[in-house]
């Protein structure tokens, strides 16, 4: 279990499914949710009202520094849904990107 002073950050937060799973596993809410898209954050806020929501482009933000004086105990980074799901309004952008290897 995450130490009480450590925070949990859900990056690329949208509907809140990952946050729900994290909350179930840890027995406490996610502390901070980050997404650049206002609509995505609004959906997450509706599902997770006790979480701090930051509208930021994660490429310009260091998630380790979002909690003042508190280390990140868990940082969750879901895949970009606009290219890995139907979130763009149709077929995923590139099927080969959905199975990209991590090196």
pLDDT digits (tens, 9 = 90+) for 22-55: 999 999 999 999 999 999 999 999 999 999 999 9
Distance CA 48, CA 3 (A): 21
Residues 58 and 34 sit within 8 Å (Cβ to Cβ): yes
Distance of CA 96 to the CA centre of its chain: 23
pLDDT at 3: 56
Whole-prediction pTM = 0.75
Confidence at 79, pLDDT banded by 50, 70, 90: confident
pLDDT digits (tens, 9 = 90+) for 46-71: 999 999 999 998 888 876 778 778 88
Confidence at 94, pLDDT banded by 50, 70, 90: low
Residues 74 and 10 sit within 8 Å (Cβ to Cβ): no
Give CATH superfamily name and number for 7-98. Vaccinia Virus protein VP39 (3.40.50.150)
Distance CA 22, CA 33 (A): 12
Domain ranges of the chain: 7-98
Cβ-Cβ contacts under 8 Å for 12 (sequence gap 6 or more): 34, 35, 58, 77, 78, 79, 80, 81
Distance CA 53, CA 31 (A): 9
């Amino acid at each position: 279990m995450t130490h009480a002073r450590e925070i949990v950050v859900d990056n690329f937060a949208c509907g809140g499914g990952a946050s729900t799973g994290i909350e179930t596993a840890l027995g406490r809410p996610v502390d901070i949710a980050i997404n650049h898209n206002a609509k995505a954050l609004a959906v997450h806020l509706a599902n997770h009202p006790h979480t701090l929501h930051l509208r930021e482009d994660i490429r310009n933000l260091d998630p380790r520094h979002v909690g003042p004086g508190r280390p990140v105990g868990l940082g969750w980074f879901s895949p970009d849904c606009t290219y890995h799901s139907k979130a763009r309004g149709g077929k995923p952008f590139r099927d080969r990107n959905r199975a990209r290897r991590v090196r």
